[in-house]
Chain A
Amino acid sequence: MLIYFFTAYTPKFVGGTGLLGYAGKVLHVNLTTASSHVKKLDEATAKKYIGGIGLGMKLYWSNSKVGVDPLSSENPFVLAVGPISGTMFPTGGSGHAFVSKSPVTNLLGTSVSRGTFGAEFKRAGYDAVVITGKAEKPSYLWIDDDSIQILDASALWGKSPEEVEDAIRVEIGDFYVRVASIGVAGENLSKIACIVNDRTRVAGRTGLGAVMGSKNLKAIAVRGTMDVSVSKPDEFFSLVKDFHERMKGPAVQKYRTMGSTENLVHLNDMFCVPTRNYNDSHFQLAENIGSSVINERFVVKIIGCNSCAMRCEHEVLVREGIYKDTLTRIEYDSLWAFGPNLGVDRLDVIIKAIERCTYYGLDTQSVGGVIGFIMDCHGKGLLKNNSAAVLLEELGFVPYFGNADVIIPLIEHMAVREGIGDILADGVKVAAEKLGSDGDDVDAFGSLAQHVKGLEATGYDLRCLKTTALSVAVSFRGADHSRSGAFMLDLSGKVDRLKAEVGRGKLVEELEDIYNLIDSFIICKNAKGTLYKDVEDLAKLYSAVTGKEITSEELKLAGQRIETLARLINIREGLTRKDDTLPWKVLNQPITDNNCPTKGQIVTQEELNLMLDDYYTARGWTLKGTPTKKTLQQLELHELKNITITTKKEEG
């Protein structure tokens, strides 16, 4: 079986047959017809789009129609890994990417998760799977090397991802089956539903859990037993050795020791922690939930993903109180979402909230955004003559900032879409529209919904981090700091974080390109600091694994190509320059805190326009944000140029 499959596409390798970088195969599964077939992944496409999100976008583009409803059977759902997946390169073994049209932004949605699932999928002999159609009844996809089955998941419906993982392992009778699953929220088509694997690892953003739910696809289970090899072992192992050393060094010390929650203290010292739904930018109670408290009182173990030599996943346990024995993982973004964002300083509640989100399969950042929004609505007195007021009263609690008691019940109501939960379960944008349509307060509600393109804002106050603001405005998947990591420039002082100036566009562009490559290889963003030479390091790695020489310039082009392809997909789905905007408060509500050195800061529309022009120019796009013909030619995307022409016609 093993030899049968791989002699066709990959050369023989010392010690047997093995996957060299790419498996050379894309699996296509149609859930409607319960059928599957394998298509070859040609070398040129692989090199052009690398893997992960890049390859996923390309496969999405090739297999989708314009303007489909994200939650319809017509929306393809792609899972992809990269050329490094399944190897020993530190953090290379762990990642996998999902790509589809996002129900929360109605634009391109991508989300990467880690753990052990991606490596297992690679060993099953695929670079990607494109899932189309809709299963007749709750099902899960069982990929067992070359055996593909769509199995009944009726008994798993209603269960948490962790329960699903355990149940599938028992059903199949193999403890090493890896599972990516949705929770109840995904089943209920919550537009902020996530996909969970390895119990605590989450592809959180852009609501792709709902896409799985809409396909009646409860889970993807995978077991891969094939060999993964590298083309140049000597070079590869010297890279591995080098990166093992780098991962013990200062570049990732934060992650190895205190964890990403350490960000809170730093950001708070610099007055850029969005607090109480962007009403403030400094959380006075931050010390109570700082990383030192977390590590001293809650962390029980730091674990690692497959192949990782730095390990950063901080497992936290609540030891006393009503949430005693809650065990989950904590990162800055989730801590922020339920802490400063809600004015809450109770770690037991924050940890329970994260655990409940993982249990129900909800994105912590979006959920935090929604709860912050409803608290803000209450604070501004907008809920008085509203259906929401009745629903909240029925629950018997008042959602004021700092009221930790409302968080867990709200999450539970959102997961099952009960009462107020039904209004909130699709994110802030939909919630604001629903509540606004009740009266004539559409704008009032809209101004409290902090999102870009429909996706909830994250824990960096963009009013005083202007490079980050640009990166968030142009991010193809909505409000998201992790498409470029531009916050590092602002926070480290490499640029004046309060200034919007020409040049920031280029900086953001370069970072986005590297992040695109990181998410396509796939390696870990937390380990970005160990790429001392950025793209040069990646080029060496690519050649050592695949045996195909690639230059830094070619890789940089690939990074640009991926960003421009994302743009093309979004333009095809109706995106225009006006969608590259910022959360309402970032543009309209200056920082008011008197103690805050950044008092009065805001990103004006003029500043944003200046940076957008600068960014589009750096990208080789027109000032409308459309890639020019020349750029498409440079990026070898000209076969996709019809899209820009069609869009212009539609506009005209």
Chain B
Amino acid sequence: MNKLSTILLLTGALALSACNNPDRFGAGGAGAAGAGGAGGITAGGLGDPGDPNSIAYFNQTIGDRVLFAVDQSTLTPEGQATLAQQAVWLNQHPTNTAIIEGHADEQGTREYNLALGDRRANAVKAYLISQGVSAARLQTVSYGKERPLAVCSDEACYSQNRRAVTVVGVGAGV
């Protein structure tokens, strides 16, 4: 990809993330993803978010997560736009693998929310595959309602918790 298109993408991603998820840069996000222990990545070593080859760039500049409506696993247009950029990055970095974490808000029973989180993670996986990312590089895991990102009990938090997060691993061999 030439330099111009990269810059355009970057600008678009920032605009998207600003309206999607203002808390995305907060410590809670990294903590929640790390607490699951699925990705095996640590807070360090993600690099500079200004470096397009860094995982920090993927997480913050592109945006590592998409959000869902209540009880839905259908991707929103905003979510599809984020995932399209995730796919571009993953296609440009073929040695990186990823685990997609699906989450639900607390308004649901535990078992159902596990299944719903699985649906969400797989909706993301399917989209990334449709954009050319090899299925062998992608795994999914559902946390149901076990790992909320925001802890209040109203829609302001619920909307952030209904999410699927693409956790990029360093190198191959997830």
Q: Do A and B come from one complex?
A: no
Residues of chain B touching chain A, judged by Cβ–Cβ distance below 8 Å, are: none
